[in-house]
Amino acid sequence: MASLEGKKILLGVTGGIAAYKAADLCRQLTRKGCLVRVVMTRGATEFVSPLTFQALSGNPVHTELLDSDAEAGMGHIELAKWPDLILIAPATANIISLYAHGQASDLLTTLLLATQSKVAIAPAMNQAMWRHPITQLNIAKLRDSLAGTCEIWGPGEGAQACGDTGPGRLLEPEELAHRVVEFFDNKNLQQNKKTDLTGTRVVITAGPTREAIDPVRYISNHSSGKMGYALAAAFSASGAEVVLVSGPVDISAPMGVRCIQVTSACEMLSVAEEAVSDGCDIFVAAAAVADYRVETVASSKMKKKGDSDLVLKLCQNPDIVASIAAKPDKPFVVGFAAETNDLLAYAKAKMEKKNLDMIIANDVSKKGIGFNSDRNAVHVLCREQMVELPEQSKAALSQKIVEIIAARASQVAPGKSV
């Protein structure tokens, strides 16, 4: 895990009720060793006093575009050159719109245009505002126009201050602080890469799938997608072109990675097959795909009928990794085996049965690793060898896995761009 000691974070706070959470975020970042400077919009100062952030960060708070106390009065230029990362939390619909359209109406929006630092946006607004087509267009514009330089972190989903429930909540300060750690983990991967995969095209599946029962309920699992996303970041840091086919997760795609969102196993298979057909050297099936789906999905919410039990008829989902591995001109195919017992035996059997080139096995029964954890420990199995990788952060683990995959793939498929 990357050290945040001495990392320079510019925290932009805008005028939403979630501004109070930014104070806790500032505290957490400084405790992790970050140097934090805070820029507040005028609206933000109506919710939280600048003095609060000054006390928490140990630095003066910036609110005005033309600051007579700054060198030559050009505070925005000084600030724009300073940070390793700019984090806007909370980011209102207004600041997102201004940024997407290149407006420079105050200090915060001006420095966003003047900076060459990476930017992370943490949205926070009413669920209807978040769902509004214009807000979604602005988010898409930032993702497309600033791919590789701007990430969207969140929003979360749940009860809101206005009484509504839905997407639009600011991610909790602990989660945002964790995202900052992940950001510098990924940055370290890019700076310290040992494998050059320039010209290699990689397709990765990640996260869970959701299989609908009715419009309200679904079958799924505990996968967070963190391992698949960490692998996507590691492949991208090594120079590969990465397509990430992701089930429903609460994670932003790594910078430079093309992410395609899907819901069900059938959708994931269709998108994965299309991505592979467009050209693929390495396919990594890190998603936790539901083995079964409901045979007939109800068109309306199913009501409880007295004391009667509910019986659902399930049918098997397609096997995504086996389908890709069965193609005549298949890429180098890597599968995952998440088991609770007989780990190596099940993993070897799965590799043979599905014609995989490699399989990564992890014991999800162990506390503190695997599903929903930031750490993992795995065994990487090929037909002739096995490598055990001890418990470590998923970011560090992914870098080692990518090195192993690259080395093995170049032996198995020397004609491929690996």
Q: Which residues are catalytic?
A: 162
Residue 36 contacts residue 30 (beta carbons within 8 Å): yes
Give the chain's radius of gyration (CA, Å).
23
Q: How crowded is the C-beta side of 103, counted as CA atoms within 13 Å?
A: 11
> Strand pairing partners for 245?
205, 260
Residue 397 contacts residue 376 (beta carbons within 8 Å): yes
- Tokens representing 303 are 């009501």
Q: Is omega for the bond preceding 90 within 30 degrees of 0, making it cis?
A: yes
Nearest-10 Cα torsion for 388, 389, 394, 400: -100
Crossing angle of the two packed helices 93-100 and 133-145, in degrees rounded to 10: 50
* Token pair 């000054």 in the structure block, residue: 54
> What is the distance between the terminal CA atoms of the chain, rounded to a whole angstrom?
27
Rounded to whole angstroms, how far apart are CA atoms 163 and 199?
50
Rounded to whole angstroms, how far apart are CA atoms 247 and 311?
26
Which residues lie closer than 8 Å to 52 by C-beta, 6 or more apart?
23
Rounded to whole angstroms, how far apart are CA atoms 387 and 401?
10
What does residue 374 show for φ and ψ, rounded to 5 degrees? Answer: -90, 0
